[in-house]
Each structure stands twice: as structure tokens, then as C-alpha cells.
Amino acid sequence: MDRGRCKLCGICIAVCPVDNLAIVEGALAAADRCTGCGLCELHCPDFAIVATREGAATKPSAKKGA
């Protein structure tokens, strides 16, 4: 999340299906419930969010030949 680009419009908060985002003390804050769905990134008009799904590619079953 690029706090310099974020204008605190709240669109990401509205579209998050797991209520992971909130505005706290004048800044966008994320809890640990993110599923990596990417809706916040898709809807952010300021391109301030890059959603990643950590751990998905690091599981042994996800690696080719493992």
C-alpha cells in the first residue's frame, strides 16, 4: 500500500469482502484477514494498493516437480 498515493476515499474499504481495511488515525490500515482477492487493488482510483496472495506459490504442491 502506497500511503503517499492513498487519498483515503474509502472505496477499498467498501469493496473488501472480509472487512480487512479501515481508516485509523487518518491513514489506511489493514488487519490480517486479507484473502488476496484483489478487489481493493482493482477499484483503487489512485493505484495505491497492490494485492498479493502470500504463501500460495510457496507451498510444495504448487511448485513444479515437487
Domains of the chain, by residue range, sit at: 11-56
- Compute the distance between CA of residue 65 and CA of residue 35 in angstroms, rounded to an integer: 26
Question: CB of 10 within 8 A of CB of 23?
Answer: yes
pLDDT for 6 equals: 94
Low-confidence ranges of the chain (pLDDT < 50): 55-63, 66
pLDDT for 52 equals: 77
Q: Counting beta carbons within 10 angstroms of the beta carbon of residue 16, is it exposed (0 to 12), middle (13 to 18) or buried (19 or more)? A: buried
**Which CATH architecture is the domain 11-56 placed in?**
2-Layer Sandwich (3.30)
Predicted TM-score (pTM) of the model is: 0.74
pLDDT for 1 equals: 84
